[in-house]
Amino acid sequence: MIDKTIAGIGLIWFLTAQVAGCGGDTSAAKAAKTAQSAPLPVTVTPVRTQQVQRTVELVGTLEANHQVTVAAEIDGQVTAIAADLGDRVNAGQTLARVNDAEFRYAVEQAEGNLTLVLARLGLKTMPSPQFDVNLTSGVVKAKAEFDEAQVNFKRMKTLFDEKVISAQEFDAADTRFKTAQAAHQSAVEQTRVLLADAAVKEAQLALARKKLKDTTISAPLAGSISKRFVSAGEYVKVAAPLFTIVQDNPLKLTGMIPERFAPQIQPAQVIEARVDSFSDRTFKGKLMRISPASEVASRSFMIEAMIDNTERRLKPGFFAHAAVLTQVDPNALTVPQQALLTFAGVSKVYVIENEVARERVVQTGARVGSNEVEITAGLKPGELVAISGLTRLTDGAAVAVSGPVMPRDKPEGANEPR
């Protein structure tokens, strides 16, 4: 009797649990179904039309606009070093000095030789190339003696013709005349020789002065010392390298551009460069030269641009990412970055039409400002796209729209290169 009672109580408990369980499952299913049918709240924003800067990207290397190796022009011992690695120098600034004692003596000797020749000419300074040799004292004296002999010869000839003097006296006058004439011609020729010798001595003096000047090693251009090869006390030979100077403002950017972009590239276009050392900075410059030929191996052509480096932050040899600003597209479509879902290289957005989400595959272009992306295909101006709840949306899902939210205007010049 007791066993039957216990069995009856167990059966009643089991049936009650089954009924309660069935009721619970039905309530959960109804709740899930209600949640699925409820519109999902989303925020939307319209597709905007904006100006977008078109660019052509390239990578390249920054180089010194000019780089020179300063070499010794004379043999001698270096007595002083006036510049070192990293120093900024101006054109003409002294970099080093070579012992000049021997060269000073050579200048004094050359000056003395020139002075001696000029003294023989009766001059104190070097005359011009058009100088008249007849103005020198030697020629003037010889000319005076020649004129006197000529007058005397004419007088003696008249007297001889009149039989007043003898033939011996006439012959003596004729001899004096010819001697004076020859002496005058010799004086002119000797003066010309002395003038030529003076020109040689002047050239020797100029060479001696140049060598003396070359004992001071000067910078041929403004820039920075990138290498120093010599120290004070060393003996250097002609053509021995002493310093390397690089002109680091502006810097030259060289890089290759694929030939398919050739129609878009023109001289004087603005170029923007970035380097890893200053990733938050953009350095601007101008496209200066375009190669007339394309390399067959890479199907690219070389360009050269000048990048402003007034602050001297960039250094020759830096690797740079650059973009040539080609043209401005005034009718580019843009959406906020958060409107995009990208997976496996495919980008899509959800267009909201009549409070229903429609999945739309799009093609993206340049980044605009800090938070917008250009859409090159798949959208039309003014369409509303969702910018929230994207992970819960599916094609055809009902939504509850809030907004529209207008994107913030991009800062001027904030376009990022493509």
Biggest alpha carbon–alpha carbon distance for the chain: 205
More confident residue, 385 or 10: 385
Q: Is the pLDDT reported for residue 188 higher than 50?
A: yes
**CB-based contacts of 190-198 (< 8 A; 24+ apart in sequence):** 190/138, 191/121, 191/133, 191/136, 191/138, 191/139, 192/133, 194/117, 194/120, 194/121, 195/121, 195/127, 195/131, 195/133, 197/117, 198/114, 198/117, 198/118, 198/121, 198/126
Q: How far apart are CA 326 and CA 56, in angstroms?
A: 7
Of 98-107, 269-278, 369-378, give the lowest mean pLDDT range. 369-378
Q: Is the pLDDT reported for residue 26 higher than 70?
A: no
Confidence of residue 17 (pLDDT cuts 50, 70, 90): very low
Q: Is the pLDDT reported for residue 11 higher than 90?
A: no
Among 374, 370, 361, 371, CA closest to 418: 374
Q: Which residues contact 196 (CB under 8 A, 6 or more apart)?
A: none
CA distances, 25 to each of 13, 30, 34 (Å): 19, 9, 14
Q: How far apart are CA 288 and CA 148, in angstroms?
A: 77
Q: Is the pLDDT reported for residue 261 higher than 70?
A: yes
Averaged over 156-174, what is the pLDDT? 90
What CATH number should be reported for the domain whose range is 40-51+329-402?
A: 2.40.420.20
CB count, 10 Å around CB of 341?
A: 15
Q: Is the pLDDT reported for residue 199 higher than 80?
A: yes
Q: Is the pLDDT reported for residue 6 higher than 70?
A: no
What pLDDT is attached to residue 367?
Answer: 83
Q: How far apart are CA 50 and CA 47, in angstroms?
A: 10
* CB crowding 185-203: b at 16 or more within 10 Å, else e: eebbebbeebbebbeebbe
With 0-12 / 13-18 / 19 or more C-beta atoms within 10 angstroms meaning exposed / middle / buried, residue 287 is buried
pTM of the model: 0.64
Averaged over 338-349, what is the pLDDT? 91
Averaged over 99-105, what is the pLDDT? 96
Alpha helices in 38-166 (DSSP H): 101-121, 137-161
List pLDDT tens digits, range 352-410: 998 899 999 999 988 887 888 999 999 999 999 999 888 889 899 999 887 666 555 44
Q: Is the pLDDT reported for residue 144 higher than 90?
A: yes
Q: What's phi and psi for 221, nearest 5 deg?
A: -150, 165
The percentage of residues in the chain with a pLDDT greater than 90, rounded to a whole number, is 69
Tokens of 412: 């001027």
What pLDDT is attached to residue 405?
Answer: 62
Whether the CB-CB separation of 202 and 32 falls below 8 Å is answered with no
Q: Is the pLDDT reported for residue 130 higher than 50?
A: yes
How do beta strands 40-46 and 399-402 pair? parallel
Whether the CB-CB separation of 415 and 332 falls below 8 Å is answered with no
Tokens of 129: 């190339």
Helix (H) or strand (E) holding 199: helix 167-213
Q: Is the pLDDT reported for residue 281 higher than 70?
A: yes
**Domain map (residue ranges) of the chain:** 40-51+329-402, 57-65+246-328, 100-211
- Cis-peptide, bond into residue 250, ω within 30° of zero: yes
The percentage of residues in the chain with a pLDDT greater than 70, rounded to a whole number, is 87
Pick the CATH number of 57-65+246-328 from 3.40.1280.10, 3.90.25.10, 2.60.40.740, 2.40.30.170: 2.40.30.170
What pLDDT is attached to residue 51?
Answer: 86
